[in-house]
Structure 1
Amino acid sequence: MVKRLVIANLAIWVVGIMILQRFLLPNNVIFEYFALNPARFGLDFMLWQPVTYMFLHSPSNVFHVVFNMLILFFFGMELEQRWGSKFFLAYYMVCGVGAGLIYTICLWVYALLGGDQGLLLTNVVGASGAVFGLLLAYGMVFGERVVYFMMMFPMKAKYFVMIIGGIELLTVLGSGVHGPVANLAHLGGLVSGFLFLVVYGKMAAKRRAGRSKKGRRGRNLKLVVNNERSEESDSDGPRYWN
């Protein structure tokens, strides 16, 4: 599943954005309809945008798509091996969609409280929200693994996740929702991933507890055979043939 997601993202970026968008399609039509635009999502009911935006990347910054796909590949492969393809895809989509929705809701609240309403017209693209969710999951599942922060400083994965989460939070608190990078969406991916894993973990624990209770009740049941009745019935022979 990870490889398919990487191929899909790269194919959309190369064919859809770098070729079709630049040379064949009307001006900016792909981003107009499929990027996440809080105003168009809320007012024009383009409800598909929290899904489609995560498969689009900036045409002017190749590192945007390259870094996201590298993180998706290297961190996602181990998570998929641990979870399986179906659960991994569900988690990835929840993080990406959740990041987009949290970003959109926060911008609408900010605008309604008197903030810059022009931000509602800003297009957001990229798999970064989903990717940050993967980083969180990696830190929770493989917390003792050693990773390299900024490719130089070795540290345990759980501390790595804490650091990048802290950086994103401080960036949002410092610059707010302004700036060229949607750090609020990155935080949204972390929050969505954490809530998903916590809720799923509690549901799984309840299911295991229910199965355990059923097993204990089953062990207390006894099979009683009335041999005398069986012998009387056998002596008369069967009454009906099926």
Structure 2
Amino acid sequence: MSQAYGGLYIPRPGRGIIGLIVANVVAWIAYMLMLRLGLSDIAARLPLTPAEFLTGDLWQPLTAMFIHSPAATGHLLMNMLFLWIFGVEVEQVYGTRSLVMIYLACGLAGAAVVVLLGLVVWLLAPTSSLGLLWISGTLGASGAVLGITGCWGGMLWHQTRSFLFLGPMRVRTFLFIIVGIQLLGALSYDNVSYSSHLGGLAAGVAFGRGWLRPGMVTDWLDRRKLRRLKAQQARRRGHLELLDGGLGDHPPDNGRYGDNGHSDDNGPLYH
């Protein structure tokens, strides 16, 4: 749903968008407090650094996508604005749970590209200026937010929308413009993780086009849980049969199991 303000339609955020914005703001405040309260040793291990991640700091891809630099308030505000604008329709189509799954998956996809690029540079050109990618920390929600933007664009791939300062255009053209901006930015060697942006954006487009499903991981976990429950039930049934046939006031039914405890129909052996 959208709400009108002064003739403009401003999207009304759902629970998922509000929750993600709150989580990012709380993480930003907590990160800032850590730095100001002398907990810099802990705070320093929250951004994603390829060298640290591959040597044991496995939480970094998750923490890095929620924290922002205290000195870059505009970075946080811009990310949350884009999340709001493009995430509303994604949540309406996919639902709150899937929105969060897409956000996390795109953030992790961006982190994977950062780690992979850092590793490749370290292996091939560790002494070059690009070698800093191996030991440089990355933080911010841009990869996840651009993933939501990519998902939105993937859903509306063939549609035409009107964009502020750009006018009406095909949604896919808008995405190509974003990709071009990221590639040009990567050539400037500034302090921005464009690899994370592109990785998250690509994953988002894959979700929006239907090449990936938000429930792929949860479906796999549900199937695994179901198999585990079935195995537990099978063991419980076997245990009850054992109690019924081998313990209590009555001896086992020899007609069923024979004199030596073996099933006549080559069934399981009970002790």
TM-score higher than 0.5: yes
Aligned counterpart, 1:9: 24
Aligned counterpart, 1:37: 49
Amino acid in the other structure paired with 2:149: L
Residue 28 of structure 1: how far off its partner (Å): 5.2
- Residue 65 of structure 2 is aligned with which of 54, 66, 73? 54
Three-state SS of the structure 1 residue aligned to 2:70 is coil
Three-state SS of the structure 2 residue aligned to 1:33 is coil
1:121 equivalent to 2:135? Answer yes
User: Deviation digits for residues 20-56 of structure 1, max 9, x if unmatched?
Assistant: 22432323531x221101110012x111111110000
Higher relative contact order (CA 8 A, sep 6+): 1
Three-state SS of the structure 1 residue aligned to 2:137 is coil
Alignment of 1:36-185 (within 5 A): 36-43=48-55, 45-114=56-125, 115=128, 116-143=130-157, 144-148=159-163, 151-156=164-169, 157-172=171-186, 174-175=187-188, 178-185=189-196
The 8 Å contact of residues 121 and 134 in structure 2, kept in 1 or not, is answered as no
Q: TM-score, normalised by structure 2?
A: 0.66
Residue 145 of structure 1: how far off its partner (Å): 4.6
The count of corresponding residues between Structure 1 and Structure 2 is: 194
Residue 108 of structure 1: how far off its partner (Å): 1.0
Cα 1:141–1:199 change in 2 (3 A) is closer
Listed as ranges, the gaps of 5+ residues in structure 1 are 205-242
The 8 Å contact of residues 147 and 160 in structure 1, kept in 2 or not, is answered as no
Aligned counterpart, 1:213: none
Listed as ranges, the gaps of 5+ residues in structure 2 are 1-15, 217-271
Q: What is the CA RMSD across the aligned residues, in angstroms?
A: 2.1
Cα 1:155–1:58 change in 2 (3 A) is farther
Separation in 2, partners of 1:161, 1:46:
33
The 8 Å contact of residues 182 and 197 in structure 2, kept in 1 or not, is answered as yes
Q: TM-score, normalised by structure 1?
A: 0.73
